[in-house]
Amino acid sequence: MSLAPDITECLARARTDLRLGVPVVLAAHGGGALVLAAETLTPARLAEVQGLPGTADLALTARRAETLKARPYDGDLARLPLPKGAETSWVRALADPADDLRHPMKGPLMARRDGEAALHRIALKLAKTARLLPAALLLPLDAPEAFARNWNLTLLAADDAALHLDRFSPMRPVVSARLPIEVSEAGRLHIFRPEDGGEEHYAVEIGRPARDTPVLARLHSACFTGDVLGSLKCDCGPQLHAALAQMGQEGAGVLLYLNQEGRGIGLANKMRAYSLQDQGFDTVEANHRLGFEDDERDFRLGAELLDRLGFSSVRLLTNNPRKIAMMEKNGIDVVDRVALKVGENAHNRGYLATKASKSGHLL
Ligand SMILES: Nc1nc2c(ncn2[C@@H]2O[C@H](COP(=O)(O)OP(=O)(O)OP(=O)(O)O)[C@@H](O)[C@H]2O)c(=O)[nH]1
Ligand SMILES: [Zn+2]
């Protein structure tokens, strides 16, 4: 047992560093890279990078690259060499689609074909899991360990980082307590905390659901705008309340409140997507223009929490077939799908139609 942080803990530190604008260092066999998140890049740090030997690359996801008409030669990402004397505004304009329509001509952008993209891939995953824009600046380093030590930067072994970024973090129960709520006086709230320092997630148990029969269950992804503010742009608020009400009526159920805001891109990025939707893009196109996939959520989480609570089979309240498939794949038997069609209005009609036509939601 060592007092030093392990790779999971170093990854958590790295995410915090990137959110602050502090660079991190990736070490690979025979070299490495300095990584800075595009969203938090400052002119001072960019100038430091430009004063170092070598040329930095801006790594963008293939989704963002396609919008910018840059070739994603690496398949899932593109590497764009930082032009000499480029300012943070160049990086920002490529990373953030806010001004795409006002200033469409950003290119021609010549993506790199030579060299390796493994470190760039790790950097983009780090930026995504830090809930930042998925774009990062990488400068090759000959001696990453010495560089990190010299500048007091978080150092990550690239192989370990790649492995752990794809791994699902175990969830630990923290506490549970009685919580009488409107739909049922017999409510109980459980708090779970992931070992990787990520967001906590919650489970609301209604009544005393038996563990040996299928439980009425809802996997609800956090939506601050819908759940709390009553936003009319989506159906989340009405779905949350209808699910709880049905559990109250039946006297038993479990609602998982998963902190995967904005289908896993975070609230700031969701608001960026809303801003793009005001420019005429639908919910899926907006995610793509930002550089994200349609849905960045990991539903292994829901299965893990149900398992932790002792449930192995559910009647799932959802219109999303992916949720059903992920439950089945991860050992939870979905004996029934219970449709949850509530809250359609003039503002969210297009959004619901897009979810049905592009994301396969059941009507
Ligand atoms: N990125 C993005 N996320 C959105 C948008 N509108 C709503 N969301 C998020 O979408 C998620 C909706 O989650 P769920 O309620 O689980 O909905 P679902 O996947 O459609 O599945 P069911 O409701 O079970 O049918 C929440 O995390 C919302 O914050 C949007 O336009 N863009
Ligand atoms: Zn919502």
83 Rama class: left (phi>0) / alpha (psi -120 to 50) / beta: beta
- 109 has a pLDDT exceeding 90: yes
Query: Does the active-site annotation cover 333?
Result: no
Residue of 295, 307, 337, 349 with catalytic role: 295
Q: Mean pLDDT throughout 29-46?
A: 97
ipTM of predicted assembly, 2 dp? 0.97
Handedness of CA 255, 256, 260, 264 (dihedral sign): negative
- 362 has a pLDDT exceeding 90: no
Residues in the ligand 1 pocket, defined by CB under 6 Å: 220-223, 234, 236, 239, 260-263, 265, 270, 273, 283, 287, 318-320, 323, 340, 355, 361
Give 74's DSSP letter.
T
Give 183's DSSP letter.
T
Return the ligand 1 atom nearest residue 223 CA: 29
At residue 102, the pLDDT reads 84
**Separation between Cα atoms, residue 242 and residue 220, nearest integer Å:** 12
Of 316, 186, 159, 160, which Cα lies nearest the Cα of 248? 186
**pLDDT > 70 fraction of the chain, expressed in percent and rounded:** 99
Both structure tokens of 183: 């739909």
Packing angle, helices 7-20 and 118-129, rounded to 10:
70
Binding-site residue numbers are 218-223, 234, 236, 239, 261-263, 283, 318, 323
- Segment 115-134, tens digit of pLDDT: 999 999 999 999 999 999 99
Residue at token pair 């969701």: 270
- 88 has a pLDDT exceeding 80: yes
Distances (CA, A) of 77 to 33, 65, 102, 121, 218: 17, 7, 25, 7, 34
Nearest ligand to the CA atom of 355: 1
- 105 has a pLDDT exceeding 80: no
- Segment 284-336, tens digit of pLDDT: 999 999 999 999 999 999 999 999 999 999 999 999 999 999 999 999 999 99
DSSP string computed for 253-272: EEEEEE--HHHHT-HHHHHH
Q: Mean pLDDT throughout 185-208?
A: 97
Task: Respond yes or no on whether the N-terminal peptide bond of residue 23 is cis (omega within 30° of 0).
Answer: no
At residue 351, the pLDDT reads 86
Find out whether 327 and 303 touch, Cβ atoms under 8 Å: yes
All domains in the chain, ordered by first residue = 7-163 (3.90.870.10), 171-260+297-359 (3.40.50.10990)
Q: Mean pLDDT throughout 160-187?
A: 96
At residue 107, the pLDDT reads 79
Query: Does the active-site annotation cover 297?
Result: yes
Out of 234, 287, 288, mutate this one to test ligand 1's pocket (max ligand atoms within 8 Å of CB): namely 234
318 against 2, higher pLDDT? 318
**Separation between Cα atoms, residue 24 and residue 36, nearest integer Å:** 7
Of 150, 139, 156, which Cα lies nearest the Cα of 12? 156
CA of 221 to the centre of ligand 1 (A): 7
